[in-house]
């Protein structure tokens, strides 16, 4: 029994240290992020925002086990901790409050998607606002305990301003606004677009002043022509390679035919000796290509006659 006391004391000490290390705002709010400083986020009026929170089981500030709460958006001055800091807000700003959701059980983590729709007149007074949980009530009571989120800024939705150039006053134009990071996309040379501050997407679609190509179309045309030239050059290179290969094959074929002809024209030494004998007996047959049944071509007979004359010359020389 007594052995469980140290464990219980350690648990209480850890719980106390955890609560002291983190404020209720840090423990409760996920979005806006309770661990961030005030005014770390800026929203545009009419923007859709997600608010989310963790389960809350503490009895400090609001006892969620016995009390249902409402979610409100108010000016930052309605929060006492902000009123104590004059740099955040002034008491004259503590007049705006709007209920976003009723009768919430903070013991269950939940979220809410809501649209920022603060009147422009109020935004002209102050851009500083905060979400806060208050005990359920039909009206906002600034004196009751609350669980506020980090404060944030809300700016007016200025919309989009567009003006046509004097030379194209008859050119129709249209525009649309979507909440998103600031990006401007324009498809006209005759329209000037002014971006909204903070996160906004302005898409301007206009009819071109002339029928000429736009810059994007010209770039696309140049890229297409480049690839067309590249394809043509590739085809020419392939055809050149195939032509060179065909020429090499043709030259090889001609060479083989010439070698075959040379092989057929070759005279065997034994046959040449027989021809020589015939030539000695009847030189006229040798010169005419006839004799003893041998039908030799005239070039071969001429070569043999030349060889015979050479041999005769050698014998005459030896006689001397």
Question: For residue 4, what are its two tokens?
Answer: 């469980």
Q: What is the pTM of this model?
A: 0.43
Start-to-end CA distance of the chain, whole Å, equals: 150
Residue 187: predicted pLDDT: 45
Residue 311: predicted pLDDT: 54
Residue 262: predicted pLDDT: 82
Walk along the chain (320 residues) and give the pLDDT tens digit of each residue. 445 555 555 555 444 444 445 688 899 999 999 899 999 999 999 999 999 999 988 887 888 888 899 999 999 876 544 444 545 545 455 578 999 999 999 999 999 999 999 999 999 999 999 999 999 988 888 889 999 999 999 999 987 433 333 333 334 443 334 444 444 444 444 444 444 444 434 333 444 444 456 677 788 889 999 999 999 999 999 999 999 988 888 888 888 888 888 877 765 566 655 555 555 555 555 445 444 444 444 444 444 444 555 455 555 544 44
The three-state secondary structure class of 128 is strand
- How many Cβ atoms from other residues are within 10 Å of residue 84's Cβ? 8
Task: Give the strands of the sheet with 48-53, arranged side by side.
Answer: 29-31, 48-53, 110-115
Half-sphere exposure of 128 (CA within 13 A, CB side): 19
Contacts of 300 (CB under 8 A, 6+ apart): 265, 267, 275
CB of 130 closer than 8 Å to CB of 74: yes
From CA 24, how far away is CA 18, in angstroms rounded? 11
């Amino acid at each position: 029994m007594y052995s469980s006391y140290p464990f219980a004391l350690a648990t209480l000490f850890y719980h106390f240290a955890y609560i002291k290390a983190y404020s209720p705002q840090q423990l409760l709010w996920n979005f806006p992020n309770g661990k961030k400083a005030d005014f770390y986020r800026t929203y545009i009026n009419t923007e859709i925002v997600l608010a989310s929170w963790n389960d809350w089981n503490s009895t400090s500030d609001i006892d969620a086990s016995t009390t249902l709460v409402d979610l409100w958006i108010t000016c930052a001055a309605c929060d006492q901790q902000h009123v104590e800091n004059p740099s955040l807000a002034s008491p004259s700003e503590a007049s705006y409050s709007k209920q976003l959701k009723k009768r919430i059980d903070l013991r269950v983590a939940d979220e809410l998607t809501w649209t920022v729709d603060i009147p422009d007149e109020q935004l002209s007074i102050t851009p500083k606002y905060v979400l806060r949980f208050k005990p359920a009530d039909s009206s906002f009571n600034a004196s009751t305990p609350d669980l506020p989120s980090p404060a944030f800024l809300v700016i007016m939705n200025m919309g989009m301003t567009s003006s046509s150039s004097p030379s194209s006053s008859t050119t129709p134009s249209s525009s649309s606004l979507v909440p998103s990071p600031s990006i401007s996309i324009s498809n006209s040379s005759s329209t000037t677009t002014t971006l909204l501050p903070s996160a906004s997407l302005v898409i301007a679609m206009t009819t071109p002043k002339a029928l000429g190509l736009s810059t994007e179309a010209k770039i696309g045309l140049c890229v297409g022509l480049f690839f067309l030239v590249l394809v043509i050059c590739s085809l020419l290179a392939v055809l050149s390679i195939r032509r060179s290969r065909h020429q090499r094959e043709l030259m090889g074929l001609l060479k083989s035919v010439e070698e075959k002809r040379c092989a057929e024209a070759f005279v065997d030494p034994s046959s040449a000796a027989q021809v020589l004998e015939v030539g000695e007996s009847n030189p006229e047959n040798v010169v005419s290509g006839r004799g003893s049944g041998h039908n030799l071509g005239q070039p071969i007979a001429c070569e043999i006659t030349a060889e015979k004359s050479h041999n005769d010359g050698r014998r005459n020389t030896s006689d001397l």
